[in-house]
Chain A
Amino acid sequence: MSYKPDENDWMAYLYGELDGEAKERFEKYLLENDDARATLQKYHGLRKVMSHLEDEEVIAPPIVFSDTKPSFFGQVPYLKTIMSIAASLLIIILVGKMTGANVSVTDNEFRIGFGEKKSKETTPAEIIQEPLLTEADVRQMINESLENNNEAIQASWKENEKKLTGSIKQNLALNSNKVDALIRQASTASQEQISQFVSGMQAENMKQVKDYFALTSAEQKTYIENLLVDFADYLQQQRNNDLQLVQMKMNSLEKDTDIFKQETEQILTSIISTVGSSSNNEIKN
């Protein structure tokens, strides 16, 4: 029976995964068959070519693991959803309680409100009181009270007016009496008194002027005295300076004269000596 390996045998043999009897049979087939050997060579050649495709170099990026382990809540399915719904309901209930929300459905009416519902029913007391006081009664009562009030206000106004007029009159009478007394006093003042008053005023003024002049004259005197003293000092100083200058000049003149004198003497002695020596020479000759 002739053996012909199939594609599975070929691949298994090519990659070294054919064992035992199957491998022996395949190798025997190769020995007997030139074409099979050529095919195997082709496969080896192809694998050699393919081996030239090298790996790409890559560096593994750091992978960070979270430390938190899944909690009990995370493991139970839908628990998170249920819990969130429950929390939402709780919040709604709490807000409703705090704001006093009121939801009611009565007689085809859906009502949402805040705070307690105000009842439209009237109390028995109101039922009894209603016929006792009509609108006219209330108006009458208001008018009566207004009238009473007006009367009381008018009475108090009148009383105040009386008091004010009384006090004004009293003040006027007092003031007029005072003015009259002053006028009377002024009219009774004699000519003598006036002249006396004026002379007194004049005397006082004179005294003030005299004092002023006396004070100013004394100040002026001291000032002029000081001025004169300063001027005298200045003149004295100036004089001293001038004298010093003259003395200095005189001294320098004296010095110059002395020098001139000495020079003259020297010249004279030199002339005398030269004249003396020349006369001696003449004598020797």
Chain B
Amino acid sequence: MHAETLLDIAMMHSDSLILKAKQGDQNAQGRLVQLWYKRIYNFGYKFFIDHDLAMEISQKTFISMCKNLSGLQDTARFKSWLYKIAVNYCREEARKMKGSRSLSFDVVWNKEADDSPRWESSGQRHDNPERQFEQTELSDILQEALSTINEEQREVVIMKEYEGLKFREIAEVLNISENTVKSRMYYGLDSLRKVLEKKNINKDSIGYEL
């Protein structure tokens, strides 16, 4: 969550903005969409490693948010409420994928083309092309490792590690107990550690390489 400015983060949780949006202020709703879009998109992207699916989930989530915001009782729970919508859409898409068991044409044939813009977009962050390559490669490995773990654990790991939700909030999102969340997190991390160990990725190797 380091990409947003402090002002953005403050606005994301601003009660007044959420209240205005809840009362039907379209500008406030638009502002909320702008503030939260990246977070929801990245949640979807880390869940599926698919830009189109992540975009679809984000759009559905925000359309649903605008429609149903007036029904939100407690504005303090806006964040967990929003992630709940996103998680539901993620699960719906995952069910569809399991049902169809088909691969997108782009995934099969256009993998390289799909990867190439990431090289270009991340080019400004590193002056050293070798470091840039290693960073991209590491991101791919981590993303792949995430996709190997159980879906329930993956939801929790992404929400905790990358979206910064508290265990209590995740429990609200998933409608389960806090202890179950912690348990899923524990086993999720364990699975990830094993996958990364197999690939010989650890703190020291990363430190050496980067």
Contacts and interface: CB of A to CB of B under 8 A. Distances in A.
B34 A60 contact: yes
B37 interface: yes
B146 to A, nearest CB: 8
Nearest to A9: B182
Nearest to B1: A55
Nearest to B26: A65
Given A52-B139, A56-B45, A11 B3 contact: no
Contacts of A61: 59
Interface in A36-81: 42-50, 52-58, 60-61, 63, 65
A58 B189 contact: no
Interface stretch (B82-90, B101-109, B201-209): B201-209
Contacts of A63: 29-30, 33, 59, 62-63, 66
Contact of A11 (B51, B66, B186): B186
Given A42-B193, A45-B202, A56 B179 contact: no
Contact of A17 (B29, B41, B166, B202): B166
A59 to B, nearest CB: 8
A42 B189 CA distance: 11
B11 interface: no
B22 interface: no
Interface string A98-122: 0000000000000000000000000
B12 interface: no
Contact of A58 (B37, B46, B162): B37
A155 interface: no
B161 interface: yes
Contacts of B196: 46, 49
Contacts of B46: 53
B33 A7 contact: no
Nearest to A59: B37
B37 A15 contact: no
B203 A10 contact: no
Contacts of B162: 53, 55
B189 A60 contact: no
B167 A15 contact: yes
A155 B117 CA distance: 115
B182 A12 contact: yes
B97 interface: no
Contact of A49 (B58, B182, B202): B202
Interface in B162-210: 162, 166-167, 178-179, 182-183, 185-187, 189, 192-193, 196, 201-204, 206, 210
A143 to B, nearest CB: 92
A234 B63 CA distance: 116
B182 to A, nearest CB: 4
By Cβ-Cβ distance, the 3 closest A-B pairs, closest first, are A45-B203, A60-B37, A7-B186
Interface of A: 7-8, 10-12, 15, 17, 42-50, 52-58, 60-61, 63, 65
7 contacts: A17-B166, A53-B146, A55-B2, A58-B55, A60-B34, A63-B59, A63-B62
Given A53-B139, A55-B162, A60-B58, 17 more contacts: A8-B183, A11-B167, A45-B202, A46-B189, A46-B192, A46-B193, A48-B203, A49-B196, A52-B138, A53-B138, A56-B51, A56-B54, A58-B54, A63-B33, A63-B63, A65-B29, A65-B66
